[in-house]
Each structure stands twice: as structure tokens, then as C-alpha cells.
Structure 1
Amino acid sequence: MYAVSLASLVCLALAACAGDPGGSAAPTSVAPTTTSTTTAPPTTTATASRTTKPSTTTTKATPSRSTTVAPPKPKPVTALAPVPRAGAEPTVRFPKNEPAVGSGANASVARVPDSVWNRMVGVSWTQGCPVGRSQLRYVRVNFWGFDGKRSRGSLVVNASIADETAAAFARLYSLQFRIRQMKPMDSTWGKNPKGPGANDYAAMEADNTSAFNCRYVGGEEASKVYSKHAYGTAIDVNDFENPYVADDGTVYPDRYWLHRRGPAPGVFSSSGSAAVRAFTSQGLRWGGLWNNPDYQHFDR
């Protein structure tokens, strides 16, 4: 029995000694894991640092490129080439147009000033006219003359179309549409030999652009029907280049441009032309579409 017991003790002792190497293996496997975890943060820090620097550089470069490409502003046009003489020209000449005021069309609308009204009374306005001074307005606007210069013109219209008139002529200015002259109907023209109002026939011969004139329908004075000009709701532009055909077939003031309706300086060539649309877009109708055309005429 002792022999067996001793042998058993020896075996147990040997088994205990053999267990030590197995127990020391656990720390060895933990050590690499700890080392791997420790080296990870430096990698993350380096990546963040590289990402931030390029972003800052790109943001600074963008404004500098946009600043250098701004184009220079074009200079405003101050004169155009004069229009060559046509086959027919106005026979009545008046003093030179007033010089333009300010830039662009510089249109304005105001009550009729005393200086203008005093020249109208007894001529283009008389007692019995369908409208009075309070219903009229004084429109001033720059325009391009046939001489190529910027000039200043004025006309008297009904207050109901004053703003539209100013807008239409401002549009003509932007189109560089030529206008011979633009003066109110007053004592300058003398009295109408065929009825009330200022002498519209002299104004047409002078190629004058105008509006209010307390007169009967031109060429039909015997009817004693007031024209829309007597109300200030009609405008005649460039009479010579845009003639009027009366009911009896008479052409005022000249036939030269009657059948020359193609695009030309100062001519209202068609209802689709930009110059005509300058007025029709403001709610005015064009007489060029009538059976007896009145190419110079716009009204409401």
C-alpha cells in the first residue's frame, strides 16, 4: 500500500509542475492585444490634421478668382450718325431742338406750367374745349434727332395717358428711334385756318411731334367733330415720315412716305415693329391699321 501511495504522490507532483507553463501563456496573449490598442490613436490624429489644412487653402483661393474677371462698364452713347436726306423733306424749319437734359430718356410728367399754358390760351386751347388745364399734363423727354444728337422735347397730353406717353417715348429713346422735333401746339404755329386750334397743317409740314390741340378732325373740319387731340388723348409722331390719309383720299403732309413703309429712321413700319409696340404696349392704338391709315397717330 505504501508503494501505491508513494507512486500516486509522485504522479500528482509531476502533474502540478506540468501546469505552470499552461498558466503563464495567458499573460503572453494579452500583451500583444494591449500593444495594438495603444498604437491606434496616433493614426487617427494624423489623419484629422491632414484633412483640415487643404480645406482652408481652397476657401481662400475662390474669392481671388472672381474678383479679377469683372468686365468694364460700357460707355453711354452720346451721339448717333445723322440720317441722310430722303427723297422728300419737311418744308418748314424751326429753331434747333433743345439739348437733352440728364442721362437716358429722363422722362418727366408735371402739371402744365404757366409759361406753356399762356402760349396755348386762345390758340390750341379756347373757351368751349372739351378739357381744361387741370385735365392736362406736361411731358418732357429726351429723344434722338435726325441730326444724330440727343435733344429735349415736350408735349401736352391728357392726364389719363401721361405716364403711358412718358413710358412710350422712353422706349423710343432706348430703341434710338429718330424724332424730328417735339414742341407743344401753341402760338408758335399760329391759328388753324380751317377751324379752332393751332395750325396743325403747319406742324405737319414741319414734321413736329405733338399731342393736345383743341381742333376738329384734320381734313374733315366741316364735320365740326372734335379730334381726340382736342381731349389730349392722341399723339402724332413724325408726321412727314408717317402720313395721314383723309376720308377724301388727300394725304397729309406729303405722299413720299405713303408707300415706303419699310424700316427706316423715324418710320412706323408695321404693327409688329418695336417702335409701334412702344405705344400699343401702353394701351394706345395705332392709326396705321385703319382703312384710311394715319401712320403718325396713336390714341386711346
Structure 2
Amino acid sequence: MLFSPFHSSVQPLPAPVKTQLKAGGFWHKGCPVGLGELRLLAVTYRGFDRRGHTGQLIVNERAAEPLAGVFRRLYRLHFPIRHMALDDMYGPPRGRPADDDVTGSFHCRQAVPSPCSSGTGTGSWSMHAYGLAVDVNPLENPYVGCGQSRDPATRPYFDRSRHRPGMVTRRAIRAFRSIGWGWGGAWTGNTKDYMHFSSTGH
């Protein structure tokens, strides 16, 4: 099968996207970054249908070009991504993918506590609130703690020894590591965030 070549672009957030973020509560006054510090990153990615698609992420301006390089590497690795459109992440809830398997970045919110905890917030900003984190295929790469996840649909993917399409691979980890980003699947202790990559590793 012939694949389209990889393309990427970076641009300031268009006015309709800013409006979408504010209307959906994904950005609000008090967030640790301003809308002017964010960028719209468009990249080619391989879908689970083995075809090339154009995906979009909202990321921190200083991470945009490095992340374009990461997604170029993932594309060359034939690493499949399920959903990566802006409306998949920021559109009206009824229009988002039913499987919620959306690869995304910016979301002005607190860090999510471990599934070991019953809490809903940590009191500290998530790296997503800075646009300096990317969650990849959340269904195949769950956030797990104490043998449980907040999404029961992810349970088949708790066993990381049995690889299936969309699960993070060593080469995918190296792609993010090439720009200095760490992986939540490498955290010590009982909590692992297999979908999560960030500039700090947290």
C-alpha cells in the first residue's frame, strides 16, 4: 500500500479555535498559559485503517516544532493513532468519538489523581494545562493504579506484555525521548500512565 508523505504545519490559534476552547471550558482566565502561547499543530498520522490522515493538536508554542518531529518519526514507524481531530477533543460531547480514544494535548485542568485514589483533583496543574503533554491512544494505553482504571473499557490493555496495535512501543517512547520528553508508563510505584508523555515526565 502506498502512503502519502508526511506533512506538518504550525500556526497561531485561529479565532474560531480560541472561541471553541473558551466555550468548552478547555481554556479560561487563570490558566497557566495564554491563548497566544499556544499553537495549532497539524501532522500526518497513520490510522488504524493503515491510511494517512491529517490530525491536529493544540500545544505550547515552544513544543510545536519538536512535536512535529516526533510525529514524523511515529508516522515512519507505522504507529497507528485512532482519533486526532480538534473536534474529537474539543467539540460538543455528543459529536466526540464514542470510544473516547482521542490523542490530544492542551487542556487547562488539574493533574488527575491516581486510580488508587478516590479524589478528582490534585490541586496542581497538569502538564496538559501548559500544552506540554500528549496523551496517545488512551484506550490502548490506560492510566492504571492499584490494578484498576477509571475506564473499565481499558482493562484488556492492562497486560502490557501482549502487544496490540495502538499500544505504546519502545520505539514510540524513543521518539518522544528524542526531544527530552518522559513517559508516564515509566513512573515508579503502582501508578502508570501509559498514554502520557510530557516535557517533565510528569
| TM-score, length-scaled by structure 1 | 0.57
Gaps of 5+ in 1: 1-75, 79-102, 191-201
Equivalent pair of 1:143/1:153 in contact (CA under 8 Å): yes
Equivalent pair of 1:144/1:173 in contact (CA under 8 Å): yes
Matched, 1:188 2:95: no
Equivalent in the alignment of 1:280: 177
Matched, 1:299 2:201: no
Aligned runs of 1:160-239 on 2, under 5 Å?
A: 160-184=62-86, 185-189=89-93, 205-219=99-113, 220-239=119-138
Distance, in Å, in 2 between the alignment partners of 1:162 and 1:214 is: 17
Distance, in Å, in 2 between the alignment partners of 1:189 and 1:235 is: 20
Equivalent in the alignment of 1:115: 16
Matched, 1:289 2:190: no
Quickly say closer, same or farther: Cα 1:226–1:249, change in 2 above 3 A. Answer: farther
Quickly say closer, same or farther: Cα 1:274–1:210, change in 2 above 3 A. Answer: same
Aligned identity (percent) is 38
Aligned partner of 2:157 among 236, 240, 257: 257
Distance, in Å, in 2 between the alignment partners of 1:170 and 1:118 is: 29
Q: Which has the larger radius of gyration?
A: 1
Distance, in Å, in 1 between the alignment partners of 2:150 and 2:139 is: 8
Letter in 2 for 1:278: A
Distance, in Å, in 1 between the alignment partners of 2:98 and 2:124 is: 20
Aligned residues: 186
| TM-score, length-scaled by structure 2 | 0.83
Distance, in Å, in 2 between the alignment partners of 1:267 and 1:233 is: 21
Equivalent pair of 1:108/1:139 in contact (CA under 8 Å): yes
Aligned partner of 1:159 among 57, 61, 69: 61
Q: Which has the higher helix share?
A: 1
Q: CA deviation at 1:249?
A: 5.4
Aligned partner of 1:241 among 133, 140, 143: 140
Distance, in Å, in 2 between the alignment partners of 1:280 and 1:133 is: 27
Quickly say closer, same or farther: Cα 1:203–1:280, change in 2 above 3 A. Answer: farther
Letter in 2 for 1:236: D
Q: Deviations over 1:42-83 (max 9, x none)?
A: xxxxxxxxxxxxxxxxxxxxxxxxxxxxxxxxxx823xxxxx
SS at structure 2 position matched to 1:268: coil
- What's the C-alpha RMSD, in Å, of the aligned pairs? 2.2
Q: Which has the higher strand share?
A: 2
Aligned runs of 1:94-105 on 2, under 5 Å?
A: 103-105=4-6
Q: CA deviation at 1:112?
A: 1.1
Distance, in Å, in 1 between the alignment partners of 2:197 and 2:93 is: 21
Gaps of 5+ in 2: 114-118
Equivalent pair of 1:204/1:240 in contact (CA under 8 Å): no
